[in-house]
Amino acid sequence: MFDGKFRQSVDARMAPVGRGLVRIGLSADVVTTSGLIFACATAFAIGAGFNWLAIVLLTLTGFHDLLDGAVAKASQRTSQRGSFFDSVSDRVGDAVLMGGVAYYLTAHHHGQLVLLPFGILATTFLISYERSKAESLGLAAKGGLMERAERLILLGIGLASYTIFIPVLWVMLGLTAMTAIGRFWRVWQVAARPAPAPVPAPRVRQHTRRLREGLSRASRH
């Protein structure tokens, strides 16, 4: 949901910060690793019930998501390896955060509520897989109500009060499920369209034209 103009505006504002970090010798991989460490610290704070500390750490975790791209662009070292590392780190961070939530629910609540964060995690991974698979097929699969930024924001809202924490988790589960279903439907619709006919290369078109002209002359003789 925050993709598009909003994301472009944020990237433009973060560009000077990225250049500054590059000047002091930081790389995008270092920023990504630091973000993963903060995600682990956030999960520990959530599990221990230190909600306000968790909100601060969660904010810093999300801030790293903005920084790694800015640093990569500023250093002009964007690579497939860096993109792969960033994506894998995001998924590990998601798993760790929901693990912290599950630990907290296990320690403070009874029943099957511990399954709630695992449901969120399953739909989160499905959203990520749908995009990866669609892009491997040459199809676009971005957007939706609950991408990573939105999930972090909503989790932070839930941590602000014990009263709303579990209801917010239910809302997060519903919205992530809607995002997964919506993304699947969009890709399904696009994939059902007939593939465009390949455009011949210039040399192929020229050769085809000459062949047709030759056949036409031969038929006249």
- Residue among 41, 91, 47, 45 at smallest CA distance from 65: 91
Where does the chain have alpha helices with state H? 5-23, 28-48, 51-75, 80-108, 115-136, 148-159, 162-191, 202-220
Confidence of residue 18 (pLDDT cuts 50, 70, 90): confident
pLDDT digits (tens, 9 = 90+) for 124-159: 999 999 999 998 888 888 777 888 888 999 999 999
pLDDT surpasses 80 at 195: no
User: Kindly report the CA angle at 219 between 217 and 221, in degrees rounded to 5?
Assistant: 75
Active site residue 90: yes
**Domains in the chain: how many in total?**
1
Each residue's pLDDT tens digit, 48-70: 999 999 999 999 998 888 887 77
For the segment 92-100, the average pLDDT, to the nearest whole number, is 95
Residue 219 has pLDDT above 70, yes or no: no
Length of the chain: 221
| Average confidence (pLDDT) over 158-180 | 94
The CATH number of whichever domain residue 26 belongs to comes to 1.20.120.1760
Count the alpha carbons within 13 Å of 218 in the hemisphere toward its beta carbon. 6
Q: What is the pLDDT of residues 118-127, one digit of tens each?
A: 999 999 999 9
Q: Is the pTM of this model over 0.85?
A: no
Judged against a pLDDT cut of 90, whether residue 217 lies above it is answered with no
Domain holding 174, by residue range, is 5-220
The one catalytic residue among 29, 68, 86, 90: 90
